[in-house]
Amino acid sequence: MLDWKLISSDSHIVEPPNLWTDRMDRRFRDRGPRVISEPDGDWWMIDGTRGNSFQGGAQVGKRFERPEELRPAARFSEVRPGAYQPAEFMRENEEDGVWGSVIYPTAGLQLYRVPDLELLSACFRAYNDWLVDFCRAAPERLRGIALINVEDVDEAVGELARVRKLGLAGGMITVAPPEERSYDHAMYEPFWAAAQDLDAPISLHIDTNRPAPHVVAESNRTSRAALLANADYWVRVALGHLILEGVFERHPRLRVGSAEHEIAWAPYFLDRLDYTYTQRARRAHWHRYQGDALPSDFFHRNVFLSFQEDAMGIRDRALIGVGLLLWGSDYPHTESTFPRSRIILERILDGVPPEERRQITRSNVAQLYGFAEPS
């Protein structure tokens, strides 16, 4: 039995419509995110580009009982108050067995599609300030993750330092930067160093891809099922660049992790990293580690993996490393385990020893983000 209080490594807020109109830098306010109403629901628009709707806070739990009602759009008036009010957030999560939460955005995920770097940074700063206020309601139970524009490295270093002073627990960067700025590029070295020095875990969350400036972002109306089903591709490439380029060798205390890509892909990924490093023809520009280290060694030391409902990954947990695994409820999104988190965890953790259960559902995330585990 899971008879302890859980800590979710991946929960969300739903941004209220006035977040950016009230907090945005005046220079960018006319181009910042705002909500428009259309026949099928309310939608975020930013600088002429459509973002997300509010379905992510309006239909949690429906997949268990009324999946035929799931839809890609909703009104903000349908969003549950716990998605944007701290007291309700904590009350609802406690009812689901969740005492503490690491908090990510909703509309903020798709802001990474904005091509203009100055506008992107301004949007992120406004969101981060709002999140600081949200988490101040219960700093011992709420750990906010800041949005960081890592393509502007100086801005990224400064913003990560600023939000850490204000109490946020870590930063989130795009899971898929433009190819010419992939994470094997030396330009990011100051950011990795800063994240290590600031003790700020860095997250690669699903649905934060950066398009080239000419690419029109897809909305929920037009998103393609096959891309979502294979979303772990981008996090594998990002982590592969970091590991094989030696970023973790140079920054041994840096922690970078995957959020909401599940975990069953990890054993094969590790096998391919080690095989490529040891068995393929070595190119002159490929990084070589000191001594006998393998890519999988750095994965096991520096990476963390947040997941929701991956029974196949739990089956292979010894290959992945139990100490890397962090469960998250994804509250209040459509795919969330809320309000059945304990029931689902009992099912997917069936046969897992009690101490490993506790690690996966509480202790690992507490250690990573500095929660004092509740009694």
Q: What is the pLDDT of residues 27-55, one digit of tens each?
A: 999 999 999 999 999 999 998 888 899 99
When pLDDT is cut at 50, 70 and 90, the band that residue 217 belongs to is low
pLDDT exceeds 90 at position 77: yes
SS3 234: helix
Region at 45 (left for phi over 0; alpha for psi -120 to 50; beta for the rest): beta
- CATH fold label, 6-369: TIM Barrel (3.20.20)
Which pLDDT score, from 0 to 100, does residue 220 have?
Answer: 65
Q: What is the mean pLDDT of residues 172-178?
A: 97
Which pLDDT score, from 0 to 100, does residue 212 have?
Answer: 58
Q: Would you tell me how many other CB atoms lie within 10 Å of the CB of residue 45?
A: 14
Per DSSP, helices labelled H in the chain are: 19-23, 62-65, 86-95, 107-110, 117-135, 153-166, 189-197, 225-229, 232-244, 247-250, 266-279, 295-302, 311-315, 317-320, 341-348, 354-358, 364-369
Which pLDDT score, from 0 to 100, does residue 135 have?
Answer: 98
pTM of structure: 0.96
Q: Record the tokens describing residue 276, joined without a space.
A: 């490529």
Q: What is the mean pLDDT of residues 255-274?
A: 98
Whether a cis peptide bond, with omega within 30° of 0, leads into 67 is no
Mean pLDDT of the chain: 95
pLDDT exceeds 60 at position 215: no
Residue 138 CA, distance from chain mean position: 21
- pLDDT one-digit tens code per residue, 338-351: 999 999 999 999 99
When pLDDT is cut at 50, 70 and 90, the band that residue 185 belongs to is very high
pLDDT exceeds 70 at position 222: no
